[in-house]
Amino acid sequence: MWFLPDDTTEPIINAKEQINRTHLGCHVRLPETAIVFFMSKGIEHLCDNYNARKLPGLFPRFLNRCPIWEIMDYQVCFLDGGRGAPQACDTVETLAALGVNNIISVGLFGAFDQRINIGEIITPEKAFVEEGTSLHYYESIEYAAPDDHLLKIATTLLNVKTYPIVSTDAVYRQTFHKEAMWRRKGAVGVDMETSAVFNIARYLGLKSVGLLMASDIHPMNPGDQKWKWHMTDGMRFDLSEKSIAIARQLRKPFAES
């Protein structure tokens, strides 16, 4: 593990310094809630169907700066979070430095449990850590969890189920043995970002929740039919709409803004 409890020195670079170094017009202060997409088509759907305003400049994270949009009516911003735990962490750290308090993480997962159907949306109750980024923030951690209040909003408002998942860095090391082990721990699927989003958000004092859609179902045993990609644009659009529903629920009354 790479977290050193006796290391009291400052990081060589932090999100605020990175923002100041690369700031090209991005708002100094973002809305309280951010929707972070770890998939394609979500941003396009929100831009096409809501009064979204592209903010000047690029979102000033360290890895691959990108556009960011705002829907002022809902007091929410949204952007592409990248792919994988390091870029997810970079995105969360930068959002925190720009004033975001709530993060709605939206993406896809590969299912390996018969309880899950293709296209089903879940909100993870925990994400087992098999990515390395979180272990630079915590000395030892088995799993990450969302904010309890946001999880309750997601499950009750959207009427979706909640299950554990796994987040991994190694897409080509999801072996039959490991997936069977993950099932025994209660996990129903795997992604690359959720545990990092939950862990870094909690570390920084932010609230986070995840919405994931099953894009495919893995074979359970060698020799079973190979998995196929089943995602459609319509399925992605539905997932995007559910993220907006949560953002609406989190919106402050206008008089308090």
Of 30, 199, 189, 212, nearest to 105 by C-alpha is 212
Asked whether residue 102 carries a pLDDT value surpassing 90, the answer given is yes
Where b means 16+ CB within 10 Å and e means fewer, 64-75 reads ebbbbbbbeebb
pLDDT of residue 254: 31
Of 134, 40, 38, nearest to 86 by C-alpha is 134
pLDDT of residue 226: 76
What are the structural domains, with CATH classification, of the chain? 15-256 (3.40.50.1580)
pLDDT digits (tens, 9 = 90+) for 4-27: 999 999 999 999 888 887 665 455
Where b means 16+ CB within 10 Å and e means fewer, 94-129 reads bbbbbebbbbbbbbbbbbbbeebebbbbbbbbbbbb
Average pLDDT, the chain: 91
Structure tokens at 100: 């975001």
Contact 58/67 with Cβ under 8 angstroms? Answer: yes
pLDDT digits (tens, 9 = 90+) for 44-54: 999 999 999 99
pLDDT digits (tens, 9 = 90+) for 59-70: 999 999 999 999
Structure tokens at 64: 């691959």
pLDDT of residue 20: 83
- CB count within 10 Å of CB 92 equals 29
CA pair distance 111, 101, nearest whole angstrom: 30
pLDDT of residue 28: 64
Residue found under tokens 């009750």? 156
Give the DSSP letter string of 49-72.
HS--EEPSS-B--SSS-B-EEEEG
Share of the chain above pLDDT 90, in %: 79
Asked whether residue 256 carries a pLDDT value surpassing 60, the answer given is no
Structure tokens at 60: 């000033």
For 97, the enclosing helix (H) or strand (E) is: helix 85-97
Asked whether residue 222 carries a pLDDT value surpassing 90, the answer given is no
Asked whether residue 164 carries a pLDDT value surpassing 90, the answer given is yes
